[in-house]
């Protein structure tokens, strides 16, 4: 066993050395900009299909789905959202957790948009299943700071997912058939002016993965506690109404169910959650330099939990429904681009309807009821070049938020002005400095009653009893391309302070007759750090490495008498390396290596016994660290021809048992003696699957 461990460690070190020399293949249009070629639109990626990862110059990260195919993939497809964790500033969330943590922020501080429609669910479970069918989307862009003023409502970041929206010229079917699931995407040409994209997925995880895992890993029974499946579907209809009008219709639906049984903590139950998005967008070209976009949308997220622990049963239901309208007018001149518009959203939020009973006794739990809110915003932003070397992007956003709790018939109005500013200065032909600051307000807050990585979170709306969050961020960065764009180096430092961040002082298994708002603590937050990314764009071996050092802490009057403590998402070091090697046109191999220090949690410091029963005694808040997270993913592709081939992937190749949560148990000793002598305290760790093999066939006809 010791020899095997040594071999695994040696291989891991070699993987690191191999991976840290490389970066994704592709030319980055931004990096070649010189004094004479700065233009307002150089931020975006007109050559995206040749640049899988771009945006280092502008401080934004853009992933092109087509270019990401060679990277490590589970179920034969790349999880584009989780690939963001391989970029600096996005912390590794670990196994079984589909949330994203950006620059020390909470997972509920990210604005996730699907064609400009908000999504409140973090996605599918286990961290390996893509939230969206990759065959249906074209790109994903992450903005960590200074994002456009047309986006609002969240503090940490904006993650914009765009689907394919060009009219297809021919009919085709592509997809993936593998051991763990099936997915298919179709493009339909419906004449000269109309076309459609249709996608669907279904997993059969429980049929093969658990037997394979238990067979390969001796003594592994964690997989037996899990029974999980999901399905989803997408429809996009694109039509050219006239030479100046384009219509885009989108439908996205998903449904997940998780059955979990954990004998260690006597837990038995299920979780169901679903997403529905429906939108219609009209793009109108008013003139050569004026464009108007209008969109109406509906978004819904539902989450139902049924669980039991010993003789206690709990049922919880939460829901968020949005109905919205947004318009945006864009005007482009020689050296300036101006955007402005209005946005209205009606929020209907059911935070948490709870029913608790023990055998035949039903506990009277007070529920807040449904919250209704009107969210009106006006925004304006511009992109301009004041002097030849300086490019700036200022923006303003005015918000009026009116919230009402129906059960209490209470209404509260909020008004805020958010501002953003980003700039970029060209030091030389290949060197740039960038700076930005922003002030944002967040009215929707995500509460987390469990830290075990399961989707038990729920959303609440700012109201008379619930405070909106506020945040300020400052950032400074440097970018340089080297050796005719063969290499790129990008670094950033940032500082963020937050107000009215929340801690939910209740576990989802606790029985409380109080309304949940009484268990919310409000305080201050702060995060700061350093990020670096190095890319290699050309050659047979390509890839990138990224490293982030960050610190995130909180300060609450109701916790430790106001002393500062580390946030639960505080990961000090986060390193990742990604590499791809193309042997020839048919064979390629890729690898991703991740290392991150563990996040914090609160561990009892001592025990005492009262009337023969053990009682925990806690010390400082978030006083312990989870084990370091280490994972190596490998993917091999054999292509019969373009878009047709076989994929073999291994998630967590060295079968490192990264825990999703830890818990304390007291084991009875067979011998007698005092209370202290009869019990032994043990810290146990729970994992899902130690590794996930995947073999699949990618096809396109």
Arithmetic mean of pLDDT over the chain: 80
Mean pLDDT within 285-304: 93
Lookup: tokens for 276: 């529905």
Mean pLDDT within 358-379: 77
Q: From CA 552, how far away is CA 106, in angstroms rounded?
A: 10
* Nearest alpha-carbon partner for 385 in 1, 43, 32: 43
* Nearest alpha-carbon partner for 91 in 686, 571, 659, 635: 571
The pLDDT, as a whole number, for residue 263 is 60
The pLDDT, as a whole number, for residue 402 is 95
Residue 421's alpha-carbon distances to 195, 250, 370, in angstroms, are: 39, 32, 37
The pLDDT, as a whole number, for residue 265 is 52
Residue 14 lies in a domain: no
Highest-pLDDT range among 46-55, 81-90, 375-384, 508-517: 375-384
Mean pLDDT within 321-339: 92
Q: From CA 63, how far away is CA 51, in angstroms rounded?
A: 8
Q: 671: pLDDT confidence band, cut at 50, 70 and 90?
A: low
Residue 16 lies in a domain: no
Q: From CA 544, how far away is CA 432, in angstroms rounded?
A: 20
The pLDDT, as a whole number, for residue 451 is 53
Mean pLDDT within 501-511: 65
Q: What is the DSSP string of 218-283?
A: TT--GGGGEEEEEEEEEEEEEEEEETTEEEEEEEEEEEEEEEEEETTTTEEEEEEEEEEEEEEEEE
Cβ atoms of residues 372 and 402 within 8 Å: no
Q: From CA 452, how far away is CA 455, in angstroms rounded?
A: 9
The pLDDT, as a whole number, for residue 10 is 37
The pLDDT, as a whole number, for residue 365 is 58
Residues 6+ apart with CB under 8 A from 59: 143, 144, 145, 146, 422, 434, 436, 475, 477, 492
Cβ atoms of residues 346 and 374 within 8 Å: yes
Residue 631 lies in a domain: yes
Whether residue 698 is predicted with pLDDT greater than 90 in this model: the reply is no
Residue 149 lies in a domain: yes
Number of domains present in the structure of the chain: 1
Q: Considering only 31-40, 71-80, 239-248, 347-356, which range has the smallest mean pLDDT?
A: 31-40
Whether residue 177 is predicted with pLDDT greater than 50 in this model: the reply is yes
The pLDDT, as a whole number, for residue 47 is 38
Tell me the CATH number at 27: 2.40.170.20
Q: From CA 679, how far away is CA 613, in angstroms rounded?
A: 10
Whether residue 628 is predicted with pLDDT greater than 80 in this model: the reply is yes
Lookup: tokens for 32: 């070649």
Highest-pLDDT range among 293-297, 533-537, 611-615: 293-297
The pLDDT, as a whole number, for residue 560 is 82
Residue 39's alpha-carbon distances to 58, 383, 532, in angstroms, are: 13, 10, 26
Q: 574: pLDDT confidence band, cut at 50, 70 and 90?
A: very high
Q: Considering only 76-90, 97-111, 623-637, which range has the smallest mean pLDDT?
A: 76-90
The pLDDT, as a whole number, for residue 491 is 94
The pLDDT, as a whole number, for residue 41 is 38
pLDDT in tens, 269-293: 788 889 999 999 999 999 989 999 9
Residue tagged 């940490």 (tokens): 156
Q: From CA 403, how far away is CA 415, in angstroms rounded?
A: 12
Q: Which residue has the higher pLDDT, 214 or 2?
A: 214
Cα end-to-end span (Å), the chain: 48
The pLDDT, as a whole number, for residue 432 is 93
Q: 684: pLDDT confidence band, cut at 50, 70 and 90?
A: confident
pLDDT in tens, 399-436: 999 998 867 677 899 999 999 999 999 998 889 999 99
Q: From CA 312, how far away is CA 662, in angstroms rounded?
A: 22
Q: Which 3 state secondary structure label does DSSP give 40?
A: helix
* Nearest alpha-carbon partner for 133 in 83, 176, 178, 91: 176
Residue 13 lies in a domain: no
Q: pLDDT above 70 covers what percent of the chain? A: 79
Q: Name the H helices within 107-218.
A: 205-216
Q: From CA 60, how far away is CA 9, in angstroms rounded?
A: 35
Whether residue 13 is predicted with pLDDT greater than 60 in this model: the reply is no
Q: From CA 113, how far away is CA 162, in angstroms rounded?
A: 8
Mean pLDDT within 523-551: 92
Mean pLDDT within 82-107: 83
The pLDDT, as a whole number, for residue 133 is 84
Mean pLDDT within 245-268: 80
Q: From CA 569, how far away is CA 572, in angstroms rounded?
A: 9
The pLDDT, as a whole number, for residue 283 is 95
Per the structure, the complete domain to which residue 71 belongs is given by 21-693
Residue 383 lies in a domain: yes
Q: From CA 278, how far away is CA 462, in angstroms rounded?
A: 25
Q: 377: pLDDT confidence band, cut at 50, 70 and 90?
A: very high
The pLDDT, as a whole number, for residue 359 is 62
Residue 368 lies in a domain: yes
The pLDDT, as a whole number, for residue 555 is 92
The pLDDT, as a whole number, for residue 667 is 66
Q: Considering only 161-165, 210-214, 227-231, which range has the smallest mean pLDDT?
A: 210-214
Cβ atoms of residues 106 and 381 within 8 Å: no
Whether residue 526 is predicted with pLDDT greater than 90 in this model: the reply is yes
Question: What pTM did the predictor assign?
Answer: 0.83
Mean pLDDT within 392-399: 94
Whether residue 247 is predicted with pLDDT greater than 70 in this model: the reply is yes
CA angle 619, 620, 625 (to 5 degrees): 105
Q: From CA 136, how far away is CA 41, in angstroms rounded?
A: 25
Residue 499 lies in a domain: yes
């Amino acid at each position: 066993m010791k020899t095997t461990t040594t071999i695994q460690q040696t291989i891991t070190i070699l993987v690191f050395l191999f991976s840290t020399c490389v970066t994704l293949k592709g030319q980055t249009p931004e990096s070649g900009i010189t004094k004479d070629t700065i233009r307002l639109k150089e931020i975006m990626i007109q050559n995206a299909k040749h640049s899988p990862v771009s945006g280092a110059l502008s401080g934004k990260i853009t992933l092109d789905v087509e270019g990401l195919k060679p990277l490590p993939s589970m179920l034969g497809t790349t999880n584009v959202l989780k690939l963001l964790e391989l970029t600096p500033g996005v912390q590794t969330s670990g196994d079984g957790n589909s949330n994203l943590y950006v620059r020390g922020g909470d997972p509920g501080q990210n604005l996730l948009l699907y064609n400009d429609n908000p999504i409140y669910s973090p996605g599918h479970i286990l961290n390996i299943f893509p939230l969206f069918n990759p065959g249906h989307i074209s790109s994903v862009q992450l903005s960590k700071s200074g994002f456009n003023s047309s986006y609002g409502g969240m503090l940490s970041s904006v993650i914009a997912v765009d689907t394919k929206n060009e009219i297809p010229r021919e009919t085709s079917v592509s997809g993936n058939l593998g051991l763990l699931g099936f997915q298919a995407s179709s493009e339909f040409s419906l004449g000269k002016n109309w076309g459609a994209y249709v996608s669907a997925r279904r997993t059969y995880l429980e049929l093969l993965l658990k037997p394979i895992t238990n067979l390969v890993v001796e003594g592994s029974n964690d997989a037996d506690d899990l029974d999980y499946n999901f399905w989803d579907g997408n429809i996009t209809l694109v039509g050219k109404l006239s030479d100046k009008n384009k219509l885009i219709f989108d439908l996205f639906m998903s449904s997940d169910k998780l059955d979990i049984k954990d004998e260690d903590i006597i837990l038995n139950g299920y979780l169901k959650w679903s997403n529905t998005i429906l939108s219609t967008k009209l793009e109108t070209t008013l003139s050569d330099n004026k464009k108007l976009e209008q969109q109406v949308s509906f978004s819904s997220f539902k989450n139902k939990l049924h669980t039991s622990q010993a003789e206690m049963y709990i049922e919880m239901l939460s829901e968020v429904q949005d109905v919205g309208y947004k318009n945006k007018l864009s005007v482009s001149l020689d050296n300036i681009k101006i955007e402005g518009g209005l946005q209205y959203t009606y929020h209907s939020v059911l935070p948490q309807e709870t029913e608790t009973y023990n055998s035949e006794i039903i506990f009277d739990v007070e529920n807040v009821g449904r919250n209704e809110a009107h969210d009106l915003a006006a925004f304006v932003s511009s992109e301009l070049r004041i002097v030849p070397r300086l490019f700036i992007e200022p923006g303003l956003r005015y918000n009026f938020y009116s919230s009402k709790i129906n059960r209490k018939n209470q209404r509260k109005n909020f008004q805020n002005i958010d501002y953003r500013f980003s700039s970029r200065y060209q030091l030389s032909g290949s060197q740039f400095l960038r700076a930005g600051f922003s002030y944002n307000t967040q009215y929707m807050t995500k509460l987390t009653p469990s830290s075990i990585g399961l989707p038990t979170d729920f959303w609440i709306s700012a109201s008379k009893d619930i405070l909106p969050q506020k945040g300020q961020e400052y950032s400074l960065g440097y970018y340089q391309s080297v050796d005719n764009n063969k290499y790129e180096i990008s670094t950033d430092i940032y500082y963020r302070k937050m107000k009215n961040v929340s801690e939910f002082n209740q576990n989802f298994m606790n029985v409380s007759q109080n309304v949940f708002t009484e268990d919310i603590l409000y305080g201050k937050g702060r995060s700061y750090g350093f990020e670096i990314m190095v890319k290699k764009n050309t050659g047979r071996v390509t890839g990138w490495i990224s490293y982030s050092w960050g610190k995130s802490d909180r300060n609450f009057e109701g916790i430790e008498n106001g002393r500062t403590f580390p946030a639960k998402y505080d990961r000090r070091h986060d390193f990742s390396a990604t590499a791809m090697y193309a042997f020839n046109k048919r064979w390629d191999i890729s690898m991703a290596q991740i290392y991150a220090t563990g996040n914090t949690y609160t561990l009892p410091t001592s025990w005492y016994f009262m009337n023969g029963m053990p009682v925990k005694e806690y010390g400082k808040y978030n006083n312990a660290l989870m084990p370091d997270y280490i994972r190596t993913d490998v993917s091999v592709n054999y292509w019969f021809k373009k878009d047709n081939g076989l994929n073999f992937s291994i998630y967590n190749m060295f079968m490192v048992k990264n825990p999703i949560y830890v818990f304390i148990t007291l084991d009875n000793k067979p011998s007698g003696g005092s209370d202290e002598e009869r019990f032994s305290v043990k810290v146990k760790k729970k994992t899902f699957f130690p590794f996930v093999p995947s073999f699949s066939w990618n096809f396109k006809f």
